[in-house]
């Protein structure tokens, strides 16, 4: 079987700014420190699509020493990148089946989401005569993973279930932290405080705030915070200006420009009828590359745009798997080979997400591997 191409000749380039990434984590770290808490970093989904092999070491160089992934295999990959004894790595999805020896072998901390997982980890630690660390996830309203109130009642009444291992973190997950006025934010913080008060004190601390939660106020910080998407430049609060530096820039060279006029149409389904003499540029970015189909031909929230330098050019027609079309009629500087910023400081991940009717998380984690990737800053 032949190796996958490296796309070194790709007409698209994804630029990842490792200095901006590090600055964003430091901003979150400093906010947490102002409330007496310390900051960890979530690097799941291949560092939110930007490459864990570069994201993990860059955040470590910035000072981060505690990381979280979703899957165990992600945590194992990160451990290979960060073998230092002072680096703590946790996997959030829980302790499944007979994975306990794997967690121990790679020095990964499981997040225990139910009583069965607690009992298995405690039994394993007792068998190996080592009180290995774990996090306990308490459900305070997400109704996804985590210990429900009935199991918290049992742990509070029978704390011996927690013997044999180190309970390093008590954590939960906010439901609507990106909407600061949502009443559930206060409800969750209060419930988390009450429930954790009933359990033994964790050795590292309590952890509730995600990226958005870091901006809700001191009552949400507890002893540590667990930011994710804001590290990568996505706005933590949709109601205020974004304090985070943009981390990604997606640039695409124009493949072809053609002159069109009514009654011609552009793209699949004849979804874009041409209303005036126009110049249409085509670039090699499509939904296979993370430029979502819903951003084209009838945007949901706002018009999808790109930029040639400072000049805004609209996306027109349906976005296809490999190609996107743009109206460059008012951009006389556009020629074949001209670079168009599909994502960048003027067209942020959040703006594209709004045009596509989704969230910045999906845009970042959908960015494909067909782009030529270039890392700047840090040790790049």
User: DSSP of 182-225, one letter per residue?
Assistant: -HHHHHHHHHHHHHHHTSPPPSSEEE---TGGGGT-GGGTTTEE
Confidence of residue 380 (pLDDT cuts 50, 70, 90): low
Please choose, from the candidates 97, 112, 101, the residue with its C-alpha nearest in 3D space to the C-alpha of residue 76. Answer: 101
Query: Which tokens is 123 given?
Result: 């039994």
Cβ atoms of 353 and 363 closer than 8 Å: yes
pLDDT-derived band at 301 (thresholds 50, 70, 90) equals very low
Can you name the residues that pair with 179 across neighbouring β-strands?
Answer: none
User: Average of pLDDT values for 137-146?
Assistant: 96
> Is 144 within any annotated ligand binding site?
yes
Q: Under DSSP, is residue 251 helix (H, G, I), strand (E, B) or coil? A: strand
At 297, the pLDDT band (50, 70, 90 cuts) reads low
Minimal CA–CA distance to 264: which of 305, 325, 221, 203?
325
**pLDDT (average), residues 281-304:** 82
The whole-angstrom separation of Cα 21 and Cα 33 is 18
Pairing of strands 38-39, 41-42: unpaired
Nearest CA among 235, 103, 209, 74 for reference residue 165: 103
What is the mean pLDDT of the segment spanning 151-178? 96
Percent of the residues in the chain that have a pLDDT greater than 90, as a whole number: 91
Average pLDDT on 41-52 reads 97
pLDDT confidence bin for 299, thresholds 50/70/90 = very low
Whether residue 70 is predicted with pLDDT greater than 90 in this model: the reply is: yes
**What residues act catalytically?**
44, 268
Residue 58: pLDDT band with limits 50, 70, 90: very high
Cα dihedral 346, 349, 350, 354, rounded to 10, equals: 100
Q: What angle do CA 20, 23, 28 make, to 5 degrees?
A: 130
Q: Give me the phi and psi of 362, to 5 degrees please.
A: -70, -40
Q: Per residue in 186-225, pLDDT tens?
A: 999 999 999 999 999 999 999 999 999 999 999 999 999 9
User: Is 370 assigned a ligand-binding role in the annotation?
Assistant: no
Whether residue 298 has pLDDT greater than 80? no
pLDDT in tens, 244-267: 999 999 999 999 999 999 999 999
Contacts of 88-97 with C-beta under 8 Å, sequence gap 24+, read 88/133, 90/66, 90/135, 90/169, 92/44, 92/68, 92/137, 92/145, 93/145, 94/137, 94/145, 95/120, 95/121, 95/134, 96/72
Residue-level pLDDT at 340? 98
Give tens-digit pLDDT for 345-379. 999 999 999 999 999 999 999 998 899 999 999 87
* Segment 278-290 mean pLDDT: 96
| Percent with pLDDT over 70 in the chain | 97
- Domains in the chain (CATH in brackets) are 35-232 (3.20.20.10), 248-376 (2.40.37.10)
232 compared with 299, residue with greater pLDDT: 232
For the chain, how far is it from start to end, CA to CA, in angstroms? 31
pLDDT of 238 reads 82
**Does 300 have pLDDT greater than 80?**
no
Cβ-based neighbours of 98, under 8 Å, separated by 6 or more: none
Q: Is the pLDDT of residue 241 over 50?
A: yes
Query: Hey, which residues does 112 pair with through a beta bridge?
Result: 136
pLDDT at 285 over 80: yes
């Amino acid at each position: 079987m032949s190796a996958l191409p490296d796309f070194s000749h790709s007409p698209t380039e994804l630029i990842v700014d490792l200095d901006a990434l590090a600055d964003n984590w430091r901003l979150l770290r400093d906010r947490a420190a102002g409330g007496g808490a310390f900051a960890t970093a979530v690097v799941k989904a291949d560092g939110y699509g930007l490459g864990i092999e570069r994201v993990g070491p860059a955040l470590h160089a910035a000072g981060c020493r505690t990381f979280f992934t979703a899957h165990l295999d992600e945590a194992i990959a990160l451990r290979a990148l960060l073998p230092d004894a002072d680096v703590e790595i946790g996997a959030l999805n829980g302790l499944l089946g007979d994975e306990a020896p794997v967690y121990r072998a790679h020095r990964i901390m499981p997040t225990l989401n139910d009583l069965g997982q607690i009992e298995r980890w405690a039994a394993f630690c007792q068998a190996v005569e080592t009180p290995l660390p774990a996090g306990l996830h308490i459900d305070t309203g997400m109704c996804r993973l985590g210990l429900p109130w009935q199991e918290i009642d049992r742990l509070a009444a029978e704390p011996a279930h927690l013997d044999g291992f180190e309970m390093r973190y008590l954590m939960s997950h906010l439901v609507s932290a990106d909407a600061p006025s949502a009443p559930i934010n206060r409800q969750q913080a209060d419930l988390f405080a009450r429930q954790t008060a009933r359990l033994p004190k964790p050795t590292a601390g309590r952890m509730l705030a995600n990226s958005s939660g870091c901006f809700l106020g001191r009552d949400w910080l507890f002893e540590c915070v667990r930011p994710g998407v804001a590290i990568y430049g996505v706005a933590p609060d949709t109601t205020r200006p974004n304090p985070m530096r943009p981390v990604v820039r997606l640039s695409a060279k124009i493949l072809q420009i053609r002159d069109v006029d009514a009654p011609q149409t552009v793209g699949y389904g004849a979804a874009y009828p041409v209303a005036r003499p126009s110049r249409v540029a085509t670039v090699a970015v499509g939904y296979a590359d993370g430029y979502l189909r819903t951003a084209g031909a009838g945007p949901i929230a706002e018009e999808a745009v790109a930029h040639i330098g400072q000049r805004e050019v609209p996306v027109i027609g349906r976005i296809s798997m490999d190609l996107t079309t743009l109206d460059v009629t008012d951009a006389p500087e556009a020629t074949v080979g001209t670079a168009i910023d599909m994502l960048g400081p003027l067209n942020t991940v959040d703006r594209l997400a709004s045009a596509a009717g989704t969230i910045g998380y999906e845009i970042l984690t959908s960015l494909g591997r067909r782009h030529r990737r270039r890392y700047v800053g840090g040790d790049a």
